[in-house]
Structure 1
Amino acid sequence: MSSVYHDYSSFSNTTTFADAYNNFSTIEGLNPLEKLWGAYYYYIGNDIFATGLLFFCVHEFLYFGRCLPWAIIDRIPYFNKYKIQEAKIPSNKEQWECLKSVLTSHFLVEAFPIWFFHPLCQKIGIQYQVPFPSIWAMALHIAVFFVCEDAWHYWFHRGLHYGAFYKYIHKQHHRYAAPFGLAAEYAHPVEVMLLGTGTVGIPIIWCLITGQLHLFTVCIWIALRLFQAVDAHSGYEFPWSLHHFLPFWAGADHHDEHHHYFIGSYASSFRWWDFVLGTEAGPGKKEKRESKMKIKAESKKSI
C-alpha cells in the first residue's frame, strides 16, 4: 500500500484509477492536482516504481514535447528571420542523428538513477505525501534551485572547456555550432552526469540542509529546467523572448553565441556570472572587455 496518504480507512474498494481518484476526492482540502497525485501513487501501489515511472515519463514527455515545436519551426521558412544564425537550419539528417543519440543517453545513462530516486527521497526526507506545500514555499525552493544550478553550471561548464576535458568530453556537445532544440541533451555521458548533478543534486542538498522539500516541487523544477535548456538551444531570438523583459535572463541569444564562438557565455539561466567575470561570448562583448581593460591600464599609467 502506498504511503502517499496517512489514512485510507474511509476509502472504498479500488479496481481502476477512476476509483482511486474518487476516493481522494472525498478528502477535504485537496485540489485536483493533489487528488491526481494521490490517486496515482495509491493506484500503482508501489511507491518506488511509481516515482521512477513518473519521473522517467515526465522527463521524456516534457523534453521531446518542448523540442517538437522547435523542430516544426525549423521547417517553416517564415521563422527564418528569427533564426540567430539564419543560414544554419538543421537538416533532417542532423535532427535524426541527434534524436538517436539523445534517446540512447536517456535509456542507458539517465534511466538507471531515476529508478533509484525514491529510496533516496525516503532516506533524506523528501516528502511525496498529499497535500502539497504552499505555492509560495514551492516558488521559493524553485528560485533557489535556479540560482544555485546556474552557478554550478557556470563553473563546471567553464571547466569542461579546458584541455582534455573539452577534447574528450565536452567537444561532443559542440558538434552543432548552430544549436537546435534537440541538441540540449546531446552530450557525452560524463557531461550528462556532471551537469545533471546540478539539477538533481541541488534539491537534495537543500533538503539535507533545511529538511523541507516535496517531490512535486522537484517535478516542477525539472520541468522548468528542461524548458529552459531546450529553449536556450532553440537558435531563435524573438521580440517577445524572456530576456527582453528580464535582462538578467540568459535565453537563446546568450547560449547561441557560446556555440557559435565555442567559448564564453557559460551560464545556463542567468547572465550575471558571465557579465561579472568577463566571459560573455561574441565579438562585440570581446571588444567591450578589451576597451575596459585598455581604459583601466591607461588609468594606472596616469597615476
Structure 2
Amino acid sequence: MDLVLHLADDYLLDNAWARLLPLNDNLVHSSANFTSIMHHVQQSAWPRDYIPRQIISLIVINLVGVHFLYFLFAWLSYKFIFNHEMMRHPRFLENQVKLEIQSSLQAFPVMTILTLPWFQAEVMGYSQLYDNVEDYGWTYFVLSIPFFLIFTDYGIYWIHRLLHHPSVYKTLHKTHHKWIVPTPFASHAFHPVDGYLQSVPYHLFVFLFPLHRWLYLGLFVFVNFWTIIIHDSDMITGHALETMINGPAHHTLHHLYFTVNYGQYFTWADRVSGSYRQPESSLDPMLDIKKKS
C-alpha cells in the first residue's frame, strides 16, 4: 500500500491536500523573488510524512480501491461467468444479490479500519517490501509468487476452519454462509471481523519475507479476483487441475456442506487435514433446479 500511496500522492493527493490545507504563503514567499513565486508549486501544511495525513489518505485509497475492485470483478463474473439459472435454486434467497451487495458495503468501512495498522506500518517502512529485483535476484522474485500463495493459503485454511468452530461460527462466519448458493457479489459479504481475519496472512507475509512492491500489488489484485471467481457457484468438474486447485466447484461444495474445502487456492491443506471433498457432477446444485422444474 505504500506504493499506491506514493503514486496517489504524485498524481492526485499532493494537490488535493494543498487545496484542503495549504501551507501559509507568507512563510513560503517571505524571502522569495518574483521568479520563484511564479514557479512555486502549492504545498500542504500537512507534508507526505505527516502520519494523520497518511492515515486519512490510506483510508480513502483503500475504500475507493476495494469498492472499485469489488464492483468491477464481481460484475464481470456475474455478467459473463455466473450461471443465472442458479438463481432458481430453492435455497437462493429472495433479493439475494441486493443483500450480498449490501452486506459487502457494510463490511468494507470496518475492514478498512481494522486493516489500517498493517498499511500504515508498510508506509512507515516496517515491512520487507523492496523496490529493485536485483536486491534478491530474479529466481527469488519468481519463487516468491508460489511461496506467497502457499503461505497465505495455509494461513487462510486454518483461520477459515477456526471460524467454523461452534464458539465463533454463529457470531462471525455465519453471516457469509447465509449465501448457500452464492453469486460473485457474495465474495466479500462477510462479517467485517471475519473478512479481516482471513486477510491477515496476506499482510503478515510482507513483514516476514521480502516481496517486490509491484509484485505485491499485483498479487493483491489477484487475491480479490480469485475470491470473487470462486463464488460463482460453478460446478464444472473433470478438468486436469481439479485435484490440486481449489476452484469454484470446491468452494461451491463448501457453501453447500459447510465443513469441507476450506482452502483458498489449493486442495493440499484440505487433503492433509481430512476436510477435502472431491467435486462430482452428482453434487451439482443445478440438479436441484432441474428437480424443481
**Residue 205 (structure 1) aligns with:** 208
Question: 1:248–1:176: structure 2 CA closer, same or farther, 3 Å change rule?
Answer: same
Count of aligned pairs between the two proteins? 239
Question: 1:140–1:62: structure 2 CA closer, same or farther, 3 Å change rule?
Answer: farther
**1:89 Cα shift?**
8.6
SS of residue in 2 equivalent to 1:233: coil
**1:282 Cα shift?**
6.7
Conserved 8 A contact 1:263-1:281? no
Unaligned runs of 5+ in 2: 15-47, 281-293
Q: Given the alignment of the two structures, is residue 164 of structure 1 paired with residue 167 of structure 2, yes or no?
A: yes
Conserved 8 A contact 1:250-1:270? yes
Q: Given the alignment of the two structures, is residue 265 of structure 1 paired with residue 261 of structure 2, yes or no?
A: yes
Which of 226, 231, 235 is the equivalent residue of 1:228?
Answer: 226
Distance in 2 of aligned mates of 1:75 and 1:125? 38
Which of 117, 122, 125 is the equivalent residue of 1:123?
Answer: 125
Conserved 8 A contact 2:5-2:61? no
Conserved 8 A contact 2:62-2:112? no
Distance in 2 of aligned mates of 1:89 and 1:76? 15
**1:177 Cα shift?**
1.0
Question: 1:245–1:205: structure 2 CA closer, same or farther, 3 Å change rule?
Answer: same
Conserved 8 A contact 1:261-1:281? no
Distance in 2 of aligned mates of 1:160 and 1:175? 14
Distance in 2 of aligned mates of 1:74 and 1:214? 32
Which of 144, 154, 157 is the equivalent residue of 1:154?
Answer: 157
Amino acid corresponding to residue 200 of structure 2 in structure 1:
T
**Residue 109 (structure 1) aligns with:** 111
**Residue 65 (structure 1) aligns with:** 72
Question: 1:88–1:139: structure 2 CA closer, same or farther, 3 Å change rule?
Answer: farther
**1:123 Cα shift?**
3.1
Amino acid corresponding to residue 280 of structure 1 in structure 2:
Y
TM-score by length of 2: 0.67
Overall identity of the aligned pairs, in %: 21
SS of residue in 2 equivalent to 1:244: coil
Distance in 2 of aligned mates of 1:201 and 1:104? 25
Question: 1:50–1:219: structure 2 CA closer, same or farther, 3 Å change rule?
Answer: farther
Q: CA RMSD in A?
A: 3.6
